[in-house]
Structure 1
Amino acid sequence: MNFLPADQRELFLPLIDGIHDNPPWGAFLRNLVARTYARRAFLVIVLANAPADQAPTVLQVTAPRAASEPPLDMTRLDNLRLHPHGRMRPERVYSLDEMLDYDRPEQLANQRAALEEMGIRYGRWIRITAPGAADAWLVLAREREDFSASAVSTMNMIAPHLAAALRTFCALVAQRLQTALAEDALARIGVGQIAFDAAGHVMAADREAERLLTFSAGAGGTTGRKLQLLPETGRQLEAQCAALCTAQKGTTAALLLDERRDLWVLLRKADLALDGPHAAPAVIGTLRLDRYENMAAAIRTIAAVHGLSAREAALAHAITLGEPIAEAGRRLGLTTETARNYSKRIYAKTGTSGQAELVRMLLNGLAPFC
């Protein structure tokens, strides 16, 4: 089949661009509805490893003539027990008749009646898969007459492209999960990070940095943004980024960004290992907030990891916060002598020789992430 310029403009390019939309592929579905003269379309996406109680993602689009109609009841549609979606051959277009249960007349009658109530007298189904990552089902429905051969041909044409888009979408979902994991861990200990180019422009900022700082918009969206700082601070940032570009690996510089908040950034020459085509940042800026973990969870974690009793773990945690042993003991209902005996047991169980080593061990452990 020859692809027309309209195919590229209305279907293929929206498939690519729509990967980044939230929800994805709205323009593609609207254009597909218009191209096939469908009354409505819906795309159901089920991601692998999703919890059993997590509802699938359902994207619904209607033609302008059906804009006032309520969305389809997907639970009711699922309960009709049409041809099992998991048994459909990927990228093959199925007609409505192929989805019905002709082996059981009573069930068939129920299916037809329910579909007619939902305005689905004619339909086409396609199953799309991203092996090991997701399954998706695209459905187009009409009410008055069946789809033309041209409409079915269009669905056949876009099926492999939609499958490729789904695979790319799943890869982005995995990347977003990795990013969320890293950002959540850093946010729990009060760390935010920013990537700068040699001129001090912001190439990327994580969620914590975005929350803490104010940015001026660049001409290219996020690319070219700058931190909104006092003029002299902005000049210092630009100068230090330029200097770090030519500095030795491991070189750092500290800069006070906001005196009122006592907010500092540690700038270091970037040494990130990035695969594939990329624009490498010149400098990484790290922010650090005075943030404490969930105390109860931290104490339970310390007890579990180091085999301490609840009281011992509570005292060990207090020591990491800089609280004197005697004072922490009184707060925990211990005499000074008992608190000192507890501390000796803590050192023995953790294999540390004193407060400094204990604090270093616990602050480098799991408790700060609670």
Structure 2
Amino acid sequence: MALTSTDETDLILPLFTGTHENPRFATFLERLRRRTDANHIGLINHTHDWTGARKSIYFAGEDLSRRAAETNSPDPFETDRALFEQLRPNRVYSLSELVEHDPVARAARARRMANLGLADERVVRITDGDSFTAWLMLARAKPCSAADSALLSNLAPYVGIALGNLVAAERDRLLARINALSLARAGRGWMTFDLDQRLTAIDPETVTYWEAHCGTEPRIGERLRGLDQGTDRELAAAMADLVDDPGRAARAVLLRRVPRMEALLMAMDAGSEYPGDILALVPLPRELPADGAARLAQVHDLPPREAELAMELAGGHSIAESAERMGLTLETARNYSKRLYAKLGVRGQAELVRLVYESTAVLA
């Protein structure tokens, strides 16, 4: 039995918008429950891609797990896990069919169903083979019909698409979070401009820095305020060059002298949502992290004071300044530095500073 136009409106649309609900798919599951007069409609989703393994359970109607606990019965999904796992994808089953050959198992399952107030159920397994496996199930206090099976069968492909979209969206959100965290830890921010130099997006770290140090609030849809006329012209020229030739090398622009802020401009990827926009990566000046010396000592097996000296030198201080800041004599600081060079395999202060800045010690 094919889905009707009413089904498409009442079931399919809520299914695809259900990824934004809380709890997810609530409208779709409740409408499916009412449509089938079911006691319980459940959607169990196991995600098993590179982002990790997670189980999500969505349902409408009776909470079978709670009812199982109240009646001192086993959780239905956990008890029948082996049966769920062996279902062929996109085929609708009655789990009772799978134990028909075993009188003992059949009787035990009938008792569990009766304890839950159920007489029959239908289940369809849905998977993309790579990132998720899900089960859409219908359970009733009266026998299920052929129409119930047909409805689940027809819905299965749409449920698969909706879950695939959900997995992809969660993966994108995780990647975006990782990228944002990585940039923040590395002391980098970003903003994007349209062809009229108006801000189209900006990350929170850059907003906070700009407000605190530049005295203005960056606003989406407006040009970046606080730039002098020369900088404004230079920024416009650099952006025009990148628009005319998106493949050309990134352009560096000095946005502000006090406080100093540079930006590396590059054309957005042609395949992005905003291919005409210009991305600006900006270093966000900050102090080296307080626990940087401890990280350096841990990775390179250094004594704490030697690691502290390395961080002082990386912060732009001379050996004499570092000795004073650390309460050391100049001779002691020089001895520490020599031992540092030997242990780390560097030749002098310049290579030491480079090593520190290529390590985790400088990450916030």
CA distance in 2, matches of 1:195, 1:367: 29
| Contact 1:199–1:241 under 8 Å retained in 2 | no
Asked whether 1:273 is paired with 2:269, we answer yes
The aligned counterpart of 1:86 is 85
CA distance in 2, matches of 1:272, 1:340: 48
The counterpart of 2:277, out of the listed 271, 279, 282, is 282
Call closer, same or farther: CA 1:318–1:44 in 2, change over 3 Å: farther
CA distance in 1, matches of 2:228, 2:16: 38
The counterpart of 2:172, out of the listed 175, 185, 190, is 175
| Contact 2:96–2:106 under 8 Å retained in 1 | no
Deviation at 1:186, TM superposition (A): 0.9
- For residues 130-149 of structure 1, the aligned pairs below 5 Å read 130-143=128-141, 145-149=142-146
CA distance in 2, matches of 1:170, 1:180: 15
| Contact 2:187–2:363 under 8 Å retained in 1 | no
Letter in 1 for 2:137: V
- For residues 114-263 of structure 1, the aligned pairs below 5 Å read 114-143=112-141, 145-206=142-203, 208-209=205-206, 225-226=220-221, 243-248=237-242, 249=248, 250-255=250-255
Asked whether 1:369 is paired with 2:327, we answer no
CA distance in 2, matches of 1:292, 1:39: 60
CA distance in 1, matches of 2:80, 2:222: 56
* Structure 2 gap ranges (5+): 212-216, 243-247
* Structure 1 gap ranges (5+): 217-224
Asked whether 1:336 is paired with 2:330, we answer yes
CA distance in 2, matches of 1:132, 1:270: 35
Deviation at 1:210, TM superposition (A): 6.9
Letter in 1 for 2:59: Q
Deviation at 1:78, TM superposition (A): 3.4
The aligned counterpart of 1:219 is none
SS state of the match for residue 59, structure 1?
A: strand
| Contact 2:253–2:265 under 8 Å retained in 1 | no
| Contact 1:265–1:286 under 8 Å retained in 2 | no
Deviation at 1:159, TM superposition (A): 0.9
Call closer, same or farther: CA 1:243–1:113 in 2, change over 3 Å: farther
Deviation at 1:19, TM superposition (A): 4.1
Letter in 2 for 1:169: L
TM-score normalised by the chain length of structure 1: 0.74
CA distance in 2, matches of 1:356, 1:194: 32
- For residues 55-74 of structure 1, the aligned pairs below 5 Å read 56-62=55-61
Q: How many residues align?
A: 348
| Contact 1:255–1:267 under 8 Å retained in 2 | yes
Call closer, same or farther: CA 1:34–1:368 in 2, change over 3 Å: farther
Relative to structure 2, which stretch is displaced further, 234-243 or 75-84? 234-243
Call closer, same or farther: CA 1:358–1:227 in 2, change over 3 Å: farther
Deviation at 1:88, TM superposition (A): 1.3
The aligned counterpart of 1:354 is 348
Deviation at 1:167, TM superposition (A): 2.7
Letter in 2 for 1:199: D
Deviations 1:105-132 (A, max 9, x none): 2x55554444344444332212111222
| Contact 1:251–1:268 under 8 Å retained in 2 | yes
CA distance in 2, matches of 1:352, 1:183: 32
The aligned counterpart of 1:5 is 5
Deviations 1:51-79 (A, max 9, x none): 99x751122223xxx69x99666982334
Deviation at 1:337, TM superposition (A): 1.9
CA distance in 2, matches of 1:31, 1:172: 24
Deviation at 1:34, TM superposition (A): 3.0
Deviation at 1:155, TM superposition (A): 0.6
The aligned counterpart of 2:214 is none
SS state of the match for residue 38, structure 1?
A: coil
- Aligned Cα root-mean-square deviation (Å): 4.1
